[in-house]
Amino acid sequence: MFYLLDKLATALRGGTREVLESAVDANALRILAQEIYEAEAGVRQAKQHLAQVMANKLKMQRQLEQSRQRLAAEEDTIREHLERQEEQQASALAEDLVVQEELVTQQTEQLKQLEAYEQRLLQTLKLTASKLEHYRAQLAMAQTTQQAQQAAGKLAQQSNRHSNSFERMQDSLDRIQTQQSGFEDHLLAMEQIDRYLKTGSQRGNNKDKKIQAALERLRPKAA
């Protein structure tokens, strides 16, 4: 019993899958267009994020430069105290100098990490934009092909729908051509008759001339 129920459930899942696949196939272009649109929206968000990362990098570069300048100034001050043998003042400043050096080291490392992250984002965006351009071109081609196929299908339907009309048109054309050919044949026959009659008359005249010529040749010559 449970075996049959399991088979029935499998059949139902198969039917559902077939219906869903048919729906997906019927809306394939719409689905692809939406997927491209959503991917482009993701790219726009990624660009905004990248712009913020680059802005943070510029800010951190300025902060690091300022920290380095302060560090250099403190080092100069400590050197001056040491030159004047002011050990106590130099030692007090050296304690702050160590903190400042740690800050500069930390900011330098953070800046390197931020620059590496920026480069990864740039490469990812470049690759994504290239792929999106490919799929946009493929979508445009698919849409054009579908429109061409739809137009061809409509033309085929129109041709089938008017096939009887085309047959009647062809019959009328055949009749017209037959009539015109008959008329031309009639004219040709009339020309042949006229030519025959004219040729026959010429032959009669030639015969009379030949008879006269024979008589003149045979007629006795006068002494």
Q: Name the domain count of the chain.
A: 2
171 located within any domain: no
Same domain, 117 and 47: yes
- Helix axis angle, 87-161 to 163-218, nearest 10°: 60
Determine the Cα–Cα distance for residues 102 and 114; give it in Å rounded to an integer. Answer: 18
Determine the Cα–Cα distance for residues 189 and 18; give it in Å rounded to an integer. Answer: 74
Same domain, 13 and 107: yes
Same domain, 132 and 193: no
160 located within any domain: no
What DSSP string describes the chain?
-HHHHHHHHHHHHHHHHHHHHHHHHHTHHHHHHHHHHHHHHHHHHHHHHHHHHHHHHHHHHHHHHHHHHHHHHHHHHHHHHHHTT-HHHHHHHHHHHHHHHHHHHHHHHHHHHHHHHHHHHHHHHHHHHHHHHHHHHHHHHHHHHHHHHHHHHHHHHHHHHTHHHHHHHHHHHHHHHHHHHHHHHHHHHHHHHHHHHHHHHHHHHHHHHHHHHHHHHHSPPP-
Same domain, 140 and 211: no
102 located within any domain: yes
**In 10 A of CB 78, how many CB atoms?**
19
Average confidence (pLDDT) over 159-178: 72
Same domain, 139 and 30: yes
Same domain, 48 and 124: yes
Same domain, 129 and 213: no
Structural domain range at position 29: 2-146
92 located within any domain: yes
167 located within any domain: no
pLDDT at 45 over 60: yes
pLDDT class of 108 with cuts at 50, 70, 90: very high
Same domain, 137 and 197: no
pLDDT the model gives residue 202: 46
Contact 100, 67 (CB under 8 A): yes
Compute, in degrees rounded to 10, the torsion defined by CA atoms 118, 123, 126, 131.
-140
> pTM value?
0.55
Same domain, 25 and 80: yes
Instruction: Dump pLDDT digits (tens) for 123-163.
Output: 989 899 889 999 888 888 888 888 887 778 777 766 666 56
